[in-house]
Structure formats: C-alpha cells, structure tokens
C-alpha cells in the first residue's frame, strides 16, 4: 500500500512537471508578445506623446516592456526549477510571477484610467500646446508631431483650422505670411499655408482623431496586460501544486 502511494505521488509530480514546463514555454512566448507590444508602442506609436500633458500613456508602454523582459527570464527560470525539482527555485519563480502579475495589472489599470481621462486632457491641453509650442525653440518634437498629426489624419488645428489664429508662431511674423502651417495643406508645398481656402487646406480639427488613435492603442495595452496577468494565475497555481508535491515526497 505504501509503495502504491509513493508511486501515485511520483506520477502526479511528473504530470505537474510537464504541465508546468509546457506552461513556461507558452509563458515565454507570451512575454515576448508583451514586450513586443510595449516596444511597438514606444518605437512606432509614440510620435504624439509630446502632445500629451500626462506621462501615463508612456508609463504603460514602459511597464509592458519591463514586464515582458522579466516574463522571458522567469520562463527560463521556471523550466530550470521544474526539472531540477529545486523548491528554492520554485519559490523564487512564484515570487517573480507575482511581481509580473502586479506589474501587468498596474499597466492595465493605468491604461483604463487614462482611457477615461483622455478626452478631458486633450480638450484642456491640445489647443494650448499647438498655439504656444509649435515652431518654438526647444519644442522641435511638438512641431514634428503636429505636422505629422495634421498630415496623417487630414486635419488642421485642435478643434478646426481657425485655432491657428492664436498661434504665437503665426502672430510673430516668422510664419512668412502663413495663416496655417503648411502641414494643413492637402498638397504640401512650401508656403501653401498662406491660403486657407477649403480647397487648399483641411478644415476639420485633429482632437477627435487623435483621441480615437490613442484610445485604440490604450485598449491594446490594457487587453494585453490584463490578459497575460490572468494566464499567470494558472502558473502560480501549478507552481504551488508542484511545490507541495515535492515537499510531500521529501518527507
């Protein structure tokens, strides 16, 4: 009877080991995906960050990059802990899983909270940013972001093209007779912003289009963060089961 119990425990441990190993392989790939989403946000979708007053959007992307990198390291550690049957490594693995879980929940919560606040922030700050920082010394990133925004989304100004009347650059005389930036033009050529007729420039504002763009990416960040965090719950359960099984066998 004792031999049967010992064999039964051993078989259960083996099953848990292979289950946790399979989980870690998937977990490693998930970490790669999380880090890729974070890098994608920072490298390809961060052109408009300089137009945002809050750093929350940037923070969520950095959290995903860090969490993804830690996930990949943790996945390798989990495989080593599983096959070497080292309880101290399993404890470390569980702690890392818990830390990553918290990081991704934080990223998801930040994305959700900022999603709710984005409309108010853009209404309060986008027009002011365009008026006071466009083509001003030390604000080259804002100038580049505004030009790209207006060309990419076929818009002009925050609410409409009339917003540019309050621009410090337009008022200073350095605009060379332009009433809107050249990036408002449907066909961009030097000096085309001197004529603000509807046949020449885009009349609609950029605020709604920028809000939609950022909200779409916040949804991706939030979904990835909370989705992977939920998957980690299973990893923590498997780890606890294997740890308990090894502890029983040890005694």
Each residue's pLDDT tens digit, 115-126: 888 888 888 889
The whole domain housing 88 covers 11-43+54-107+226-249
| Any domain includes 3 | no
What does the pLDDT look like over 163-218, one tens digit per residue? 999 999 999 888 889 999 999 999 999 999 999 899 999 999 999 998 888 888 88
Number of structural domains in the chain: 2
Q: Is the pTM of this model over 0.85?
A: no
Measured from the Cβ of residue 119, the count of other Cβ atoms closer than 10 Å reads 13
CA 63 to chain centre: 8
pLDDT value of residue 2: 42
Q: Which two tokens stand for residue 205?
A: 């504002």
Residue 53: phi and psi, rounded to 5, are: -75, -35
| Any domain includes 74 | yes
What does the pLDDT look like over 223-250, one tens digit per residue? 877 777 787 787 778 777 777 776 655 5
Say yes or no: 171 and 98 in one domain: no
Q: What is the rounded distance in angstroms from the CA atom of residue 46 to the CA atom of residue 69?
A: 20
Q: Is the pLDDT of residue 3 over 80?
A: no
CATH code of residue 171:
1.10.1450
Q: What is the rounded distance in angstroms from the CA atom of residue 23 to the CA atom of residue 231?
A: 9
Say yes or no: 23 and 98 in one domain: yes
């Amino acid at each position: 009877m004792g031999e049967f119990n010992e064999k039964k425990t051993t078989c259960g441990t083996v099953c848990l080991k292979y289950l946790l190993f399979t989980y870690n392989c998937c977990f490693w790939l998930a970490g790669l995906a999380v880090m890729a989403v974070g890098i994608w946000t920072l490298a390809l979708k961060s052109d408009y960050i300089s137009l945002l007053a809050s750093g929350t959007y940037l923070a969520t992307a950095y959290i995903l990059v860090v969490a993804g990198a830690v996930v990949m390291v943790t996945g390798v550690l989990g495989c080593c802990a599983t096959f070497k049957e080292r309880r101290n490594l399993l404890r470390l693995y569980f702690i890392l899983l818990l830390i990553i879980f918290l990081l991704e929940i934080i990223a998801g919560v930040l994305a959700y909270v900022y999603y709710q606040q984005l409309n108010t922030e853009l209404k309060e700050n986008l027009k002011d940013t365009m008026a006071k920082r466009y083509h001003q010394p030390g604000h080259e990133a804002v100038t580049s972001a505004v030009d790209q925004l207006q060309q990419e989304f076929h818009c002009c100004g925050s609410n409409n093209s009339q917003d540019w009347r309050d621009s410090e650059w337009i008022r200073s005389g350095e605009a060379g007779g332009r009433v809107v930036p050249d990036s408002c033009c449907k066909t961009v050529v030097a000096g085309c912003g001197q004529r603000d007729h509807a046949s020449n420039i885009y009349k609609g504002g950029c605020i709604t289009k920028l809000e939609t763009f950022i909200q779409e990416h916040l949804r991706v960040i939030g979904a990835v963060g909370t989705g992977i965090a939920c998957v980690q719950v299973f990893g923590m359960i498997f780890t606890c089961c294997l740890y308990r099984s090894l502890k029983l066998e040890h005694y």
